[in-house]
Structure 1
């Protein structure tokens, strides 16, 4: 059983029949629609956001058809599915990728890989005193990053390779459920060209999707372990230096944020920006999702907040219509806002 099937089953379990199967496809692709972003939060699926951008709908359909043929899921509505007992058993018996965190790391995973692969190549050639070779990475920003690192690094160039090797070995030995070959086969070094992802997948007898997920899993693991203890890794810590943290708010919502903090009402902001009130409400939902200390009390009375959460918990649902039918005094916007603020909390 590959990671992708396990991930889809896990997502279906979290969605509990409340979204169509294609909401998972959009999640894996990293679609930046308000619905997909909210789903990632509401159903605690942020770790799988954007981890399979190259996945096509046809490929997704093929994978899901395999899951259907194995009778791991059953239909519960149009394009909606629940896990069967066999599907539940699969989730218990097969591990999910342990380290993947798409929401946090995917915005700069490729950059970390480009830095690491060029650093490996350069330090390897330093070790053998080779100066004539073609850099494996063409990204000018990555080249500039490496030049700056080498200028500021106090470690003698001839020792860099040994220290980098020691740090990598330590990291990979600490990991669970990881095959180092998935990463190591890709490295280019002294008189040796690394495999492409296709070649590495073939060498390891894996399909392209499984290989991609294992590769992302290892990179996210490396980022995580170095991020948690940067002083331990004198060389690897350079990979996560000066990374441009992606702003979770869209440009439009940031403009609304500025006006909101100046004391303007939602109606005034909509008028000033010549936008629909529903668009401004979408921005507030973004704030609730992404800004930890953002208070929604001004927009939803605390008593209404509690009632929305109680209904959501009792009916085990995050469907707006179901909650609205049980609580006519709350608007759809208020329900969205409360679920955005508190909807991903674990129910006890």
Structure 2
């Protein structure tokens, strides 16, 4: 809410946390430097969100600034400065694979632990056949002797989490299953650590994202953990509909022709171009907005400290709303970061 500063409704936050793949939500994630929170609370319901927001209102952390738009009060700013956000959360990059990494890690720990104690009769903690196949492939290909798997895994786990003083490893470790020991559920772990369900979910996600970050940063240091990232799902933030438009655009069709072929409104095709500007690094917006106009839009946005289209359009009447959206999508986040 602090980042949005009353320029979007509170439900844009709900859609961001849920990871809604709409042009508006994807653009908001970029424009307001909120990509790290994208999709990190998929289980969050509208009722839960309303409950949290109403609690903020009752505690006078936020105040209204328009229809469904709110800004932080001085009390809200003070609270935020005293309660740092989880450092390693990176929903935009890591959320598509967060659960997969957890499933692989938990099964790997269980199997390595039972191998260490020469136990062969146990029920796998994970049921996914894909995760089982991944583990079989790993055990066949790893140069680490089976008797050393548990020791190596323990060493790497300790090495990772000893580096992060702001992460409580218990968030993750309490849930691990091993030889003659069943890990706790998320609910049980949250209760053990005196956390609410959503607070625990965020902390658990933070710990997994930190693990992924460490492995990506230094794969040679974490030879065993590196296997957790094998065959990752590649992040593709484009919606299915925009991908179809992308194909036609690359075939040389004009925007009008694409709208005709796809039987879509022109505004929908424009939404797709905004997605391209957000997500495709080499996508040029020059054919749609003159460079001089681009500079004027960015300058007004900076001077007025706003990303509201209407404010910019009222000052620069020669630019269309589509052109303003396109420029902000391409360069808006760089302007403010």
TM bucket by the smaller chain? over 0.9
Displacement of 1:243? 0.8
Q: Report the equivalent of 1:260.
A: 249
Q: Report the equivalent of 2:274.
A: 285
The 8 Å contact of residues 5 and 71 in structure 2, kept in 1 or not, is answered as yes
Q: Report the equivalent of 1:330.
A: 319
Structure 2 distance, partners of 1:35, 1:54, is 21
Structure 1 distance, partners of 2:250, 2:113, is 52
CA deviations over 1:219-275 (Å, ceiling 9, x no partner): 000000001111111111100111121322223222222222222211122222232
Displacement of 1:90? 1.5
Runs of 5+ in structure 1 lacking a partner?
Answer: 1-11
Structure 1: 4+ residue segments shifted above 4 A: none
Q: Report the equivalent of 2:164.
A: 175
Within-5 A mapping of 1:135-150: 135-150=124-139
Structure 2 distance, partners of 1:258, 1:56, is 35
Q: Report the equivalent of 2:194.
A: 205
Q: Report the equivalent of 1:43.
A: 32
Structure 1 distance, partners of 2:43, 2:111, is 29
The 10-residue stretch of structure 1 (54-63 or 41-50) with the greater mean CA deviation from structure 2: 54-63
The 10-residue stretch of structure 1 (140-149 or 247-256) with the greater mean CA deviation from structure 2: 247-256
- Aligned with residue 274 of structure 1, among 263, 266, 271: 263
Displacement of 1:276? 2.1
Runs of 5+ in structure 2 lacking a partner?
Answer: none
Q: TM-score, normalised by structure 1?
A: 0.94
Q: TM-score, normalised by structure 2?
A: 0.97
Structure 2 distance, partners of 1:264, 1:301, is 20
SS in 1 for 2:333: coil
Displacement of 1:209? 0.7
Q: Report the equivalent of 1:122.
A: 111
Q: Report the equivalent of 1:98.
A: 87
2:213 is the counterpart of 1:187 = no
- Aligned with residue 310 of structure 2, among 302, 308, 321: 321
2:228 is the counterpart of 1:242 = no
Q: Report the equivalent of 1:68.
A: 57
- Aligned with residue 300 of structure 1, among 273, 289, 299: 289
The 10-residue stretch of structure 1 (322-331 or 296-305) with the greater mean CA deviation from structure 2: 322-331
Displacement of 1:282? 1.2
Given the superposition, is the C-alpha separation of residues 35 and 221 from structure 1 closer, same or farther in structure 2, using an over 3 Å criterion? same
Structure 2 distance, partners of 1:270, 1:346, is 32
Displacement of 1:66? 2.1
The Cα RMSD (Å) is 1.2
Structure 2 distance, partners of 1:271, 1:21, is 35
Displacement of 1:311? 1.2
Aligned residue pairs total 337
